[in-house]
């Protein structure tokens, strides 16, 4: 059978640049053709029977290509864990590249491969969705499954982001009890669920809130509207202690590090102070000193009293 270059290239382009050996053979390529392309550096083997074509165009293999290769290699499984979170666009998580995680029903044969992490766990059909043709665990299942394994700050940040971005609803939260029942880590997960708040707009806001709660100075509300004397909304404070007219702003690493952003922050702070609010600001570096954050809030509230 003659090789149909257009056919295998079209298949790869629809799969994030990934092509399986079976697809290549069906298009008319021989095993020798595949070997030659690998030797030339045109194709790169990612997992057993899965290749990245045009590999010389990439300095590093895209994360999406690794996930696609895993999904093609284990078609009966479902992309899960942090890999699923990346595909679903879940926020609040450290998505540093690592082995692609696949959930596979217990009893199915598992072939260990570098770059692939197989977890044998039952995922009910209603908790599997599709993302660009890949079987992926649904947002509620992915969040619940990760919640059993994450430390507190990352777990609550993930929940906050999922609620804020619309990946989870309050009804989904109510269903977690049944979803997580009898699984290791469920007691800690219940605590995380009780601490989440979808009004938080960043992981930094979540962390500052939790630190303040631990220190005995929990904020009254989040996203506090600040209005001027004419009732015009000037902005929204990240965390607020309304009784003390105190607002804490969480200054993220990227949203506030440019010169225009600095000018906007200064103008915003002036507007807030002009409306009778005290402003304190915290960064990621400050979260490494939780007692400092708590002491700043305590002092500001004491002055207000």
Q: Where are the domains of the chain?
A: 5-59, 74-195, 203-304
Q: What is the DSSP string of 15-83?
A: TTTEEEHHHHHHTT--HHHHHHHHHTTSEEEEETTEEEETGGG-SS--HHHHHHHHHHHSTTSEE-HHH
Query: By the 8 A CB rule, do 7 and 24 touch?
Result: no
8 Å CB contact between 52 and 17: yes
Q: How far apart are CA 107 and CA 120, in angstroms?
A: 8
Distance CA 222, CA 52 (A): 46
Q: What is the pLDDT of residue 262?
A: 55
pLDDT tens sequence across 135-180: 999 999 999 999 999 999 999 999 999 999 999 999 999 999 888 8
Task: Determine the average pLDDT of the residues in 66-87.
Answer: 96
Q: How many helices (H) and strands (E) does the chain have?
A: 12, 12
pLDDT digits (tens, 9 = 90+) for 5-35: 778 999 999 999 999 999 999 999 999 999 9
Q: In the prediction, which pLDDT does 1 show?
A: 47
Q: What is the mean pLDDT of residues 206-217?
A: 98
Q: pLDDT band at 264, cuts 50/70/90? A: low
- Widest CA span of the chain, in angstroms? 85
Where residue 131 falls among pLDDT bands split at 50, 70, 90? very high
Residue 298 predicted with pLDDT over 60: yes
β-strands 246-250, 278-282 pairing: parallel
pLDDT digits (tens, 9 = 90+) for 221-252: 999 999 888 888 888 999 999 999 999 999 87
- Superfamily name with CATH number, domain 203-304: VSR Endonuclease (3.40.960.10)
Whether the per-residue pLDDT at 259 is higher than 70: the answer is no
**SS3 state of residue 241:** strand
| CA–CA distance, 4 with 283 (Å, rounded to integer) | 56
Angle at 66 between CA 60 and CA 69, to 5 degrees: 135
Q: Distance between CA atoms of 79 and 109, rounded to whole angstroms?
A: 17
Give residue 69's pLDDT band: very low, low, confident or very high (50, 70, 90). very high
Per the prediction, the chain carries an average pLDDT of 90
């Amino acid at each position: 059978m003659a090789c149909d270059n257009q056919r295998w290239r079209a298949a790869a382009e629809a799969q994030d640049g990934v092509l399986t050996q079976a697809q290549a053979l069906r298009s008319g390529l021989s095993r020798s053709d595949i070997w030659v392309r690998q030797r030339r550096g045109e194709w790169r083997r990612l997992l057993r029977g899965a290749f990245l074509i045009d590999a010389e165009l990439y300095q590093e293999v895209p994360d999406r290509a690794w996930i696609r290769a895993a999904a093609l290699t284990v078609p009966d499984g479902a992309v899960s864990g942090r890999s699923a979170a990346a595909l679903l666009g879940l926020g609040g998580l450290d998505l540093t590249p690592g082995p692609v995680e696949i959930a596979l029903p217990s009893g199915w044969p598992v072939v260990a491969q570098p770059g692939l992490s197989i977890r044998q766990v039952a995922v009910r059909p209603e908790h599997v969705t599709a993302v660009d043709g890949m079987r992926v665990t649904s947002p509620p299942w992915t969040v619940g499954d990760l919640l059993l394994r994450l430390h507190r700050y990352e777990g609550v940040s993930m929940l906050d982001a999922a609620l804020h971005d619309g990946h989870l609803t309050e009804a989904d939260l109510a269903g977690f009890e049944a979803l997580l029942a009898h699984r290791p880590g469920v007691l800690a997960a219940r605590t995380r669920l009780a601490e989440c708040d979808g009004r938080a707009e960043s992981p930094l806001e979540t962390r500052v809130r939790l630190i303040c709660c631990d220190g005995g100075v929990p904020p009254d509300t989040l996203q506090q509207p600040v209005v001027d004397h004419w009732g015009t909304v000037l902005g929204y404070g990240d965390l607020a202690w309304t009784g003390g007219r105190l607002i804490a702003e969480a200054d993220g690493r990227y949203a506030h590090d440019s010169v225009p952003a600095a000018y906007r922050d200064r103008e915003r702070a002036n507007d807030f102070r002009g409306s009778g609010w005290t402003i304190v600001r915290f960064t990621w570096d400050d979260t490494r000193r939780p007692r400092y954050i708590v002491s700043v809030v305590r002092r500001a509230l004491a002055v207000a009293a």
